[in-house]
Amino acid sequence: MSKLDELIAELCPNGVEYKKLQDVLTIKNGKDYKELAEGEYPVYGSGGIIAYVSEYVYDKPSVLIPRKGSIEKLYYVDKPFWNVDTIFYTDINVHEIIPKYVYFCLQKAHLEQYNTAGGVPSLTQKVLNAVKIPVPPLEVQREIVRVLDHFTLLTAELTAELTARKKQYEFYRDQLLNFAEHGGALNETRWSTIGDVCLLQAGKSIAAIDISSEQTEAYPIPCYGANGPRGYVKRANEKGNKPIIGRQGALCGNICYATGEYYATEHAIVVTDRGYFNSRFLYHLLIHMNLNQYKTAGAQPGLSVSRLNTVRIPVPKQEIQNKIANVLDNFDSICSDLNIGLPAEIEARQKQYEYYRDQLLNFAETGSMIATDRQTDRQTDRQN
């Protein structure tokens, strides 16, 4: 019997109480940071850290819950921070529940199922306050946190190694694609403008209601927007193996690669080679060129087709392109392919973590007629 088994058998053999979030914590709004000076404290939005400022709004362990946008992303923060109005922070009653335990419980709860909006996903304090989580004795919570922290540590170590490999890939990519425009008589690489060697075309708008988050028989076609894949639609407006450039938003200049039939929205630019490039070489080259540097200034940054058409681009011989594309594709697979290497191991570790998290947090409620398998087993062990 494990330490956790012993604790549950001793402290909550007949189940645990499930409590609403409002009974164990207070959900609080974020606020604007624009008037604050730059500093050391991270500013969190629904997508993660967006800036660093000189003041903090809270300095105790907290779980941050997105209010709008990526509502499936939760953040556990145990250092001083600031948060904006697209994400809530939580003031947790630590005499009753451990903040890290709350984080694991809310992960298991899949808060995205409580979305209250038809457009941009949203969560409200009213809905969140009513969410119930199991609250066993603190000793049980601590042991669950210890076990799950072990799993997340293993995943973090693998992720750090993968990050190092990606930096190595970026280094070699930039070395291989560093063609000098004025290299003298021995330099056989031709230079041109993107508009002369490629056709750039913005996609067409599509209503959010016509995009499915999952691929189905009715929605079989991948859809691409400014930041890459957006979901699936009924019909394609593009086909062929081509790079796609994001043209609007904070990540404009983002490059992805589409194959087969697909739909490109008005926030994406489809790049069609006019017969000069290996399409995979062109994909790697566009990433290397950092097209984000050509964006317009303003609240909503953007890339125009007319501006990109004037950007100069190297056009090496086909055999050179083929060799470089092959090397970079192999390196890219090692860093990104979920079927091989570190990405596959990280994926397996994540699934293992999610499985054990859900098992460890699967308590029968006090007074329930049906106990979980774990608690039934423990009761049988005690009777024997």
DSSP output for 64-114: EEESBS-TT--EEE-S-BEE-TTEEEEEE-TTT--HHHHHHHHHHHTGGGG
CB 67 within 8 Å of CB 94: no
Provide the sign of the torsion angle of the four alpha carbons 135, 140, 141, 145, taken in this order: negative
pLDDT mean across residues, the chain: 87
Residues in the chain: 384
Per-residue model confidence as pLDDT tens digits over 97-137: 999 999 999 999 999 999 887 677 889 999 999 999 999 99
287-292-296 Cα angle (round to 5): 155
Residue 16, beta-bridge partner list:
365
State which H helix or E strand residue 272 sits in.
strand 268-273
Per-residue model confidence as pLDDT tens digits over 256-274: 999 999 999 999 999 999 9
Map out the domains of the chain with their CATH numbers: 20-135 (3.90.220.20), 182-315 (3.90.220.20)
21's CB contacts (< 8 A; 6+ apart) are: 27, 128, 129, 130, 131, 132, 133
Residue corresponding to tokens 């009777």 = 383
Query: 12: pLDDT confidence band, cut at 50, 70 and 90?
Result: confident
Residue 307, pLDDT above cutoff 90: yes
